[in-house]
């Protein structure tokens, strides 16, 4: 079904109208902006076009890189939200965890196994839990080697590198190695990276960077991590 907006001289499908921003969704009440003082723009320029034209001029990337960093809660949680969304879209998804070891029984891994998502838990726990820092570093380096192969393989639409930033900050791999692996990934492989203290070089190669900032946390008041929320 199509109908004409008042005085616009054009018609728009209802499906298209549904995608428009709220201010112009109801074209029955939409009016033309009075742009007589704007050089090169007709005073009869339709109102909805002001919203549409910037969108039409935007490009579509083959893939993007997201980074969730900062000292607040939610970095990995957000990444696994993208994991679920990608899986629902039929994407081939793989997860590499750099810190968590096989002894961690997390909800996200249980979900991944249920969905048939490839999962690599390759860490040795946080450094303060380690009884052999050399072995911990070796496992971190191995995790990065696995991640590099996955990124370059062209077998995945989405690669999640959970806790990758620690591999750099702990000195297991260099920032240059990490940024090179991201730049040289398969062109259609999207990436989500998580972890605190992201280096500037890593930030620079990412397309979208979000910093989670802690305002308050239950842990600070003596409340332990809760199953289903933290893990």
Looking at CATH, the fold of the domain delimited by 65-221 is given as Rossmann fold (3.40.50)
Choice between 198 and 49, residue whose per-residue pLDDT is larger: 198
- The backbone torsions φ and ψ at residue 32, rounded to the nearest 5 degrees and listed phi first, read -70, 140
Residues 6+ apart with CB under 8 A from 141: 167, 172, 173
User: In 14-124, which ranges are E strands?
Assistant: 65-69, 93-97, 118-121
Residue 111 has pLDDT above 50, yes or no: yes
Choice between 8 and 182, residue whose per-residue pLDDT is larger: 182
What are the sequence ranges of the domains in the chain? 2-56, 65-221
Residue 115 has pLDDT above 60, yes or no: yes
b/e burial code for range 110-127 (CB count within 10 A of at least 16 → b): eebeeeebebbbbbbeee
Mean pLDDT of the chain: 83
Bridge pairing between strands 93-97 and 65-69 = unpaired
Least-confidence region, from 10-14, 54-58, 172-176, 210-214: 10-14
- pLDDT value, residue 134: 87
Q: In what order do the strands lie in the sheet with 93-97?
A: 118-121, 93-97, 158-162, 190-194, 65-69, 208-211
| pLDDT, tens digit, 9 for 90 and up, residues 24-81 | 444 443 444 444 445 555 555 565 566 676 776 788 899 999 999 999 999 999 999 9
Percent of the chain residues past pLDDT 70, beyond the cut? 73
- pLDDT value, residue 101: 82
Distance of alpha carbon 34 from alpha carbon 47, whole angstroms: 9
Distances (CA, A) of 150 to 82, 96, 118, 142: 18, 9, 11, 13
């Amino acid at each position: 079904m199509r109908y004409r907006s008042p005085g616009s001289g054009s018609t728009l499908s209802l499906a298209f109208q549904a995608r428009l921003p709220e201010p112009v969704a109801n074209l029955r009440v939409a009016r033309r902006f009075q742009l007589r003082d704007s050089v090169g723009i007709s005073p009869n320029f339709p109102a909805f076009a002001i919203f549409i034209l910037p969108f039409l001029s935007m490009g579509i990337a083959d893939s993007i890189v997201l980074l969730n960093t900062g000292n607040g809660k939610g970095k990995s949680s957000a990444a696994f939200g993208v994991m679920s969304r990608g899986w629902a879209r039929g994407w081939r998804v793989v997860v590499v965890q750099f810190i968590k070891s096989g002894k961690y029984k997390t909800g996200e891994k249980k979900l991944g196994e249920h969905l048939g998502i490839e999962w690599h838990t390759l860490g040795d726990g946080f450094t303060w839990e380690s009884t052999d820092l050399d072995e911990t570093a070796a496992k971190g380096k191995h995790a990065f080697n696995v991640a590099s192969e996955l990124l370059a393989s062209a077998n995945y639409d989405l690669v999640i590198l959970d806790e990758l930033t620690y591999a750099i900050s702990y000195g297991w791999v260099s920032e240059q190695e990490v940024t090179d692996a991201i730049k040289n990934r398969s062109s259609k492989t999207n990436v989500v990276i998580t972890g605190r203290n992201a280096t500037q070089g890593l930030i620079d190669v990412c397309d979208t960077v979000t910093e989670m900032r802690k305002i308050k946390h239950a842990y600070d008041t003596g409340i332990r991590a809760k199953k289903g929320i933290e893990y």
